[in-house]
């Protein structure tokens, strides 16, 4: 971490020599890029400033792959409209997203690290309208641990179940109720979820768990959002909400699920079955329909790709890629509001599905099935925060859901959500050199 040590010394000197800029701009920014490949999770583990944010894009092999780590908060926007206006006016990146219910949290962090290939870009922000001495202290403080990096340890947390919000029988009764609504034509689809809580004999380190998940849950976005030291929301999701490059929009319908195991032949057979299964295809097509209908008012040239398989460690999904061209004047405010929450996590018709979920599920979804990512004037990317968990000290609550459509069988849907939850839960016991299964 020598590069970071000398970068820190350089930045400290600059900050101490600086006077509050009176050039009229409200925000100040210092940026540096160095040729360096940082372990941003190991780095984050050593940091004590909050909020903390970590986000790794789904395709690390691609040249535009991105890893982001951020600390602190200089500006906060709870209104997506204000956040969008900000990035239209300022050349900065905001991080954050929307909860399942659409509550916004976007922020300009105090310190932003962006890793592209072998290049690390550091941005420091301050508010010129604040007392400069206070801002200066905050900047020096956020830089304090810049060169520190902790070793990540394999998680070893013997856990015992506290309680699921709904046990199998109750959850299956929710599915039965959903099927009645579907039969009466009040709903086409609703995505029912569950929250299962566990307790460990010692505090669970969210960063160690996420690092293990990054190793094992390939093909996923990895994210962590901790507003304080006492609570972290994290996960590894296969699902993109959207990627925007200028006015080009790339999204997808990810829905319809079969099992995955260590056995290649089993996985191939399951994949083949999934591609031909009409219930799963319908489940996926409703998401396509929902996304396309919602994109139509703000975009043109909507194209839907062929169906393919997205294979993960414990499950595989049907996926149809969708692309569109945003109409002039539309950007992330419009995209987020149009697409989220999709029929892959809420249902169809959306409003009725949301009402059904509010009246049925017995837990708060919070950030589960929300969206997290980043946005700036030229582009944005957000993932859908499924396959996720909330950690508070010794406790972990894991979330998983399944799309209920005509033809759904309650016990099968229950097995589906158990399999989805196991993507994270299976990582809590020490693995050492063991494989990721």
Ligand X SMILES: C=C(O[C@H]1C=CC=C(C(=O)O)[C@@H]1O)C(=O)O
Shortest Cβ distance from residue 100 to ligand X (Å)?
Answer: 10
Is residue 74 a contact point for ligand X (CB under 6 A)? no
Q: x/- binding map, residues 335-374, to ligand X, per CB under 6 A?
A: ---------xx-----------------------------
Closest CA to 120 of 9, 226, 38, 201: 38
Which among 61-69, 78-86, 118-126, 398-406 is the span making contact with ligand X, rule CB under 6 A? 398-406
Contact code string over 246-285 relative to ligand X, x by CB under 6 A: --------xxxx-------------------------x--
Nearest distance from residue 103's CB to ligand X, in Å?
Answer: 19
Among 20-28, 136-144, 288-296, 396-404, the segment contacting ligand X (CB under 6 A): 396-404
CB of 394 to ligand X, least distance (A): 24
Residues numbered 81-110 forming contacts with Mg ion, rule: CB under 5 A: none
Q: Smallest Cα–Cα separation from 55: which of 221, 267, 300, 296?
A: 221
Q: Is 189 marked active-site?
A: yes
Tell me which of 104, 401, 403, 423 binds Mg ion, using CB under 5 A.
Answer: 403
CB-based contacts of 215: which residues, under 8 Å, 6+ apart?
Answer: 436
Confirm whether residue 416 is marked as ligand binding: yes
Q: Least distance to ligand X from the beta carbon of 27, Å? A: 37
CB of 15 to Mg ion, least distance (A): 52
CA distance 328 to 298: 9
Closest CA to 256 of 205, 338, 162, 191: 191
- Is the CB of 239 or the CB of 333 nearer to ligand X? 239
Measured from the Cβ of residue 243, the count of other Cβ atoms closer than 10 Å reads 21
Which residue of the set 189, 214, 381, 413 is catalytic?
Answer: 189
The reply, when asked if residue 66 is annotated as ligand binding, is no
- Separation of alpha carbons 387 and 218, rounded Å: 13
Does 193 participate in binding ligand X (rule CB under 6 A)?
A: yes
Complex with ligand X: residue 326 or 417, whichever CB lies closer: 417
Query: Rounded distance, CA 299 to CA 165, Å?
Result: 40
Residue 387: contacted member of ligand X, Mg ion, none (CB under 5 to 8 Å, by partner type): ligand X
At 147, phi and psi to the nearest 5?
-90, 0
| HSE toward the beta carbon, residue 362, CA cutoff 13 A | 10
User: Do 188 and 391 touch, CB atoms closer than 8 A?
Assistant: no
Contact call for residue 114 and ligand X (CB under 6 A)? no
CB atoms within 10 A of CB 414: 20
| E strand segments, 295-352 | 299-311, 315-326, 347-348
Residue 103, SS3 per DSSP: coil
Phi, psi of 15, rounded to the nearest 5 degrees: -65, -45
Interface characters, 223-242, with ligand X (x: CB under 6 A): ----------------x---
Q: Does 257 bind Mg ion (CB under 5 A)?
A: yes
> How many Cβ atoms are within 10 Å of 101's Cβ, its own excluded?
13
- Can you give the binding site for ligand X, defined by CB under 6 A? 191, 193, 239, 254-257, 283, 317, 344-345, 386-387, 400-403, 420
Q: Would you please indicate which residues are annotated as catalytic (active-site) residues?
A: 189, 239
Residue stretches of the annotated binding site for Mg(2+): 283, 416
């Amino acid at each position: 971490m020598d590069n970071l040590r000398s970068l820190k010394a350089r930045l400290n000197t600059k900050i101490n020599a600086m006077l509050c800029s009176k050039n009229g701009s409200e925000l100040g920014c210092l940026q540096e890029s160095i040729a360096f490949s940082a372990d941003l999770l190991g780095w984050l583990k050593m940091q004590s400033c909050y909020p903390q944010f970590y986000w790794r894009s789904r395709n690390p092999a691609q040249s535009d792959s991105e890893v982001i780590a951020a600390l602190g908060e200089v500006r906060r926007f709870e209104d997506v409209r204000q956040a969008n206006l900000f990035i239209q006016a300022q050349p900065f990146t905001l991080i954050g997203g929307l909860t399942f219910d659409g509550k916004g949290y976007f922020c300009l962090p105090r310190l932003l690290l962006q890793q592209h290939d072998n290049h690390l870009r550091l941005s420091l922000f301050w508010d010129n309208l604040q007392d400069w001495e206070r801002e200066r202290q905050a900047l020096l403080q956020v830089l304090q641990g810049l060169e520190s990096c902790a070793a990540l340890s394999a998680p070893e947390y013997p856990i015992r179940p506290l309680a699921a919000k709904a046990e199998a029988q109750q959850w299956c009764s929710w599915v039965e109720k959903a099927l009645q609504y579907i039969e009466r034509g009040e709903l086409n689809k609703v995505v029912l979820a569950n929250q299962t809580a566990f307790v460990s004999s010692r505090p669970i380190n969210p960063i160690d768990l996420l690092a293990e998940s990054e190793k094992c849950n390939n093909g996923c976005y990895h994210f962590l959002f901790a507003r304080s030291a006492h609570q972290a929301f994290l996960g590894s999701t296969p699902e993109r909400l959207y990627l925007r490059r200028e006015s080009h929009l790339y999204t997808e319908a990810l829905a319809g699920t079969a099992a995955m195991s260590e056995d290649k032949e089993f996985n191939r057979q399951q994949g083949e079955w999934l591609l031909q299964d009409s219930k799963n295809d319908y489940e996926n097509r409703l998401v396509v329909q929902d996304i396309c209908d919602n994109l139509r008012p703000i975009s043109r040239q909507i194209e839907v790709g062929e169906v393919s398989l997205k294979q993960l460690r414990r499950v595989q999904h049907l996926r149809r890629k969708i692309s569109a061209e945003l109409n002039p004047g539309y950007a992330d405010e419009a995209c987020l509001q149009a697409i989220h929450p999709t029929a892959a996590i809420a249902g169809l018709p959306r409003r009725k599905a949301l009402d059904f979920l509010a009246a049925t599920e017995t837990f708060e979804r919070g950030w589960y099935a929300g969206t997290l990512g980043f946005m700036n004037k030229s582009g944005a990317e957000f993932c859908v925060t499924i396959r996720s968990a909330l950690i508070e000290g010794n406790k972990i609550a894991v979330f998983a859901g399944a799309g209920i459509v005509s033809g759904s069988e309650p016990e099968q849907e229950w097995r589906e959500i158990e399999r989805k939850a196991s993507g994270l839960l299976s990582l809590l016991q020490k693995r050492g050199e063991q494989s990721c299964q």
